[in-house]
């Protein structure tokens, strides 16, 4: 999703909500569990409405107090609940997230009955290079949960996940465990952009922004445009830079922007 399509996605949500006034276009879904990660990152698990189907990597549209936004789904389609990983955009900029931040177990959000999005697993090439910043890892967690659940083979997922601080790498334990269990199918490369800060004490992994390290990893891993599809999800600046570096080299690239850069 590029800048224009991020904006048009949000426009579409508003348009649909006007068009559908008076019709039962969304249902209420209860928050079943909440886990706070940092002062601005948290996870919620909400009820999956009856008949709600989706492909790994798609997003749902949830709302509260009449405001709706898109959220990629962490869960794989076979899971019983919808898991979401959300970043708080504080007031006065954020609209829905400050409202969601106040909600806990037992509260409800509205959810549209259909998942959407084209940022899904594309199986045509054996190497899948997945580049993310913080919440941008969400669709990739869904991809790999679904892939291993379905006992698929024939692909290798290389996940490069960038964050400022190590506690923002929320799915690191799950992804590192999968990489240890299936070294021929998944490689997990977390990277921190502020490795020397106190909050990152003890970090011995990769350093630098995801977009800064992507090319050297492509070389080290021996990935080529003929056998590798690249996905970029999250921060629009990261996506722009990854595109600027890899499109001229001929890599096929899929993108999902979570917001528009001012």
Binding site for ligand FAD (CB under 6 A): 1, 6, 9, 59, 69-72, 85-87, 89, 93-97, 117, 135, 138, 256, 258-260, 262
Tell me how far the alpha carbon of residue 26 is from its chain's centroid. 23
Nearer to ligand FAD, 140 or 258 (CB): 258
Q: Among residues 5 and 182, whose Cβ is nearest to ligand FAD?
A: 5
Sequence-ordered strand ranges (E) for the chain: 27-36, 41-47, 59-64, 67-72, 81-87, 108-111, 127-133, 156-163, 186-192, 206-207, 228-234, 253-257
Cβ distance 104 to 31 under 8 Å?
A: yes
By beta-carbon proximity to ligand FAD, the closer residue of 4 and 220 is 4
DSSP per residue, 16-84: HHHHTTTS---EEEEEEEEEE-SSSEEEEEEEPPTT----TT-EEEEEETTEEEEEE--S-TTSSEEEE
Give the residues across from 84 on adjacent strands. 44
Min CB(126)–ligand FAD separation in Å: 26
In this structure, what are the phi and psi dihedrals at residue 120, rounded to the nearest 5 degrees?
-120, 165
- The CB-of-185 to ligand FAD minimum distance in angstroms stands at 24
Query: Closer to ligand FAD at the Cβ: 53 or 95?
Result: 95
What's the closest the beta carbon of residue 62 comes to ligand FAD, in angstroms? 9
**Tokens 């969304």, residue?**
26
Residue 262: CB minimum distance to ligand FAD, A: 6
Least Cβ distance, residue 250 to ligand FAD (angstroms):
26
Nearest residue (CB) to ligand FAD, 17 versus 135: 135
Contact 61, 70 (CB under 8 A): yes
Q: How far is the CB of 71 from ligand FAD (least distance, A)?
A: 5
Please say which residue, 70 or 214, places its beta carbon nearer to ligand FAD: 70
By beta carbon distance, the residue nearest ligand FAD is: 94
User: Which lies closer to ligand FAD via its Cβ, residue 161 or residue 256?
Assistant: 256
User: Based on CB atoms, which residue is closest to ligand FAD, 134 or 223?
Assistant: 134
Helices and strands in the chain, H and E counts: 6, 12
Cα angle 207, 71, 33; round to 5: 90
Residue 136: CB minimum distance to ligand FAD, A: 8
The CB-of-87 to ligand FAD minimum distance in angstroms stands at 4
Tokens of 162: 């960038």
Would you say 92 and 121 are in contact if contact means Cβ atoms under 8 Å apart?
no
């Amino acid at each position: 999703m590029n800048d224009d399509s991020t904006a048009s996605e949000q426009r579409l949500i508003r348009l649909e909500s006007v068009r559908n006034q008076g019709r039962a276009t969304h249902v209420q879904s209860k928050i079943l569990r909440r886990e706070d990660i940092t002062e601005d990152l948290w996870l919620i698990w909400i009820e999956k409405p009856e008949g709600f189907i989706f492909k790994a990597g798609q997003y749902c549209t949830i709302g509260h107090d009449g405001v709706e936004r898109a959220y990629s789904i962490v869960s794989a389609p076979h899971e019983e609940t919808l898991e979401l990983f959300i970043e708080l955009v504080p007031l006065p900029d954020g609209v829905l997230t400050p409202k969601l931040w106040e909600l806990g177990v037992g509260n409800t959000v509205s959810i549209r009955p259909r998942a959407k999005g084209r940022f899904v697993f594309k199986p045509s090439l054996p190497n899948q290079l997945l580049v993310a910043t913080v919440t941008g890892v969400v669709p990739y967690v869904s991809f790999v949960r679904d892939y291993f659940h379905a006992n698929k083979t024939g692909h290798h997922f290389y996940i490069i996940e960038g964050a400022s601080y190590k506690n923002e790498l929320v799915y690191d334990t799950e992804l590192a465990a999968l990489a240890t269990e299936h070294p021929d199918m998944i490689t997990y490369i977390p990277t921190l952009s502020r490795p020397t800060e106190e909050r990152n004490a003890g970090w011995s992994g990769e350093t630098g922004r995801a977009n800064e390290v992507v090319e050297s990893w492509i070389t080290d891993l021996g990935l080529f445009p003929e056998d590798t599809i690249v996905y970029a999800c999250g921060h629009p600046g990261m996506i722009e830079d990854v595109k600027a570096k890899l499109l001229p080299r001929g890599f096929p690239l899929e993108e999902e922007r979570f917001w528009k850069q001012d």
